[in-house]
Homo-oligomer: A and B are copies of this chain.
Amino acid sequence: MKIDSVDFFYLSMPEVRDVGDGSQDALLVRVRAGDYTGWGECEASPLVSIASWNCPMSHSACKPLSASVLGQRLDEPEDIQRINAMVRANSFDLLQTDHTLSGIDVALWDLLGKKLGEPVYRLLGYQKAYPKIAYASQLFGDDPQSTLHKAQQVARAGFRAAKFGWGPYGRGTVEEDAEQVRAAREGLGPERMLLVDAGTVWGDNVGMGVARLPALHAANALWLEEPFVSGALTAYHQLASKAGRLKLAGGEGCHNFHQAMNMIDYAGLGYVQIDAGRVGGITTAKAIADYAVAKAVQFVNHTFTTPLALSASVQPYAGVEAHDLCEYPAQPSSLARDFCSTGLVPDEQGFIRLPGEPGLGLDPDLNALKKYLVDVEIEVSGRRVFQSVPL
């Protein structure tokens, strides 16, 4: 087969609010080759990624992604590896490349799985997909009382683990943050795993993180996520050395293999969190999962958007039994809820189980998504370089 077409569909909630909820829009990617269609999603600014697909070439290492994808052969996993390498070589001075490549790569794996009649994790070399403990991922409440309620809801819903992040956490006093963490623990009860996400709020200020450790220890939090910006290796390492049994988690900001490798090698992480929709797709995420296993750092997906993105981000470590946690967006937008008719929800024991169907195992619900479609038109020198097509 050859890759016949790649189309981008910009989907958005009618109103996007100024909060940390990343499920308010989505960039859906459709790849067609022969008789098959694959779907992927970029966890990225839709308009900017669209612009990178067909922008004019700036020079030999700053080409649009279309130059390395359209018309390429696609018969086996090695073809996807080759396309990845070409995109990275031909577009490495185009910064948005990795985010755009992510959705394309995911769609290529979905398509190839459908053609070969195998779920993606089998194409990646795994015999089976192990169930993952879904942790309910959500924002902190605006105050401790609200966080308490959120935690109680999650507990009642049967989750074994929950993460609270962003919102006011890290922006107020140490005591205010402690109250938030205590409320989350109180709502969850003593048994469930509690994870806390600082959303990079302290930049690279190690002291701000150290000051929050006592409350995190008292609440028996499993991890503190993104105390610092992605890549602040030295700051991460310094905090990790003071954090005792609390582990650091990070890596969602990584957009290529080496950034994740560096976080594993130099940041003192207990958990490396990789979003297949950002890091370059399933191909890159799988390479990172292999490296994490070798270095005894636990791999966890980062997902805050749709079921399609969730399936894509879990495939790369589906067959690693010991890496058993999974981020599950607990309060997605209606766009994310409507995304697939089948969904991908935790079972009664609180586990996520990947579908056994070929590819990613779930397709977008095109009829439901029509109402979220945003029309985009880009002209350069009077030439139309992008025009939305109907879903």
Contacts and interface: CB of A to CB of B under 8 A. Distances in A.
Interface of A: 10, 12, 16, 18-22, 24-25, 43-48, 50-52, 55-63, 88, 92-96, 98-99, 166, 199-200, 204, 229, 231-234, 253, 255-256, 258-259, 261-262, 265-266, 278, 374-382, 385
23 contacts: A16-B58, A18-B63, A20-B59, A25-B59, A44-B58, A44-B93, A45-B94, A45-B95, A48-B95, A48-B96, A50-B51, A51-B378, A52-B96, A56-B374, A61-B199, A92-B200, A92-B253, A95-B278, A204-B258, A232-B258, A234-B265, A375-B381, A376-B379
A20 B62 CA distance: 9
Nearest to A265: B234
A376 B379 CA distance: 6
A60 B255 contact: no
A339 to B, nearest CB: 16
Contacts of A93: 22, 43-45, 253
Residue of A12, A45, A46, A47 ringed by the most chain B CB atoms within 10 A: A45
Contacts of A24: 58-59
A175 B265 CA distance: 35
Contact of A51 (B47, B253, B379): B47
A143 B385 CA distance: 37
Given A12-B56, A231-B258, A262-B266, A48 B92 contact: no
